[in-house]
Amino acid sequence: MAYGLITAPVRLLNVGIDVGAKNSFSRPGVPRRSYLTKFRSISAVEENEGPRRLVDIIRIIPEVSRNYFKSRPRRALFGGISLLGGFYVAQTISLSFGALGVNDVIAAVVCVLLTEYATKFYYSRPKVTFPLALLNNFKMGFTYGLFIDAFKLAS
């Protein structure tokens, strides 16, 4: 009975999952038990407080993203991506509603309302956070895209 329980995970490991990858959830200094089977070694972490569940992984995402975006080049890169994303969305909306010739006025009203709401949201905050700066960059790219599209239509 115990042999069947141990070999089932081993068979799954032999299918193609990389066993040699370092476990990112193990902490240094935590005692580990390892069992040597015929094919692979299986180790278990003897810790009750370690992140094991999906909820724990989701809880560490804000800290990991804060650490990831501390680098100025990464912040600048994502700011540029946000700016160009807004430009792309503006061009797509302008092209799709302009080609159909239907609901142009409604699309323009929705675009203006969203832009004004993002502006109000950005300037009403006492401190500018990075996601808020990304929203503002998206809004600037969106406005610039609509502005450039207006020049294309005028010529």
User: What is the C-alpha to C-alpha distance for residues 87 and 34, in angstroms, rounded to an integer?
Assistant: 54
pTM of the predicted model as reported, rounded to 2 decimal places: 0.61
pLDDT digits over 33-53, tens only?
Answer: 555 555 566 555 555 665 567
- List per-residue pLDDT tens for the chain, 155 residues long: 455 444 444 444 444 444 444 545 555 665 555 555 555 665 555 556 655 678 888 888 888 888 988 999 999 999 999 999 999 999 999 888 877 778 888 888 999 999 999 999 999 999 999 999 999 999 999 999 999 988 887 77
Question: Is 126 strand, coil or helix?
Answer: coil
Residues 140 and 155: their CA atoms lie apart, in Å, by 23
Give the β-pairing of 41-45 and 32-36: antiparallel
Pair of tokens at residue 122: 């950005």
Please say whether the beta carbons of 88 and 148 come within 8 A: no
Supply the pLDDT for residue 132: 94
- Say what the pLDDT of residue 135 is: 96
Residue type, 4: G
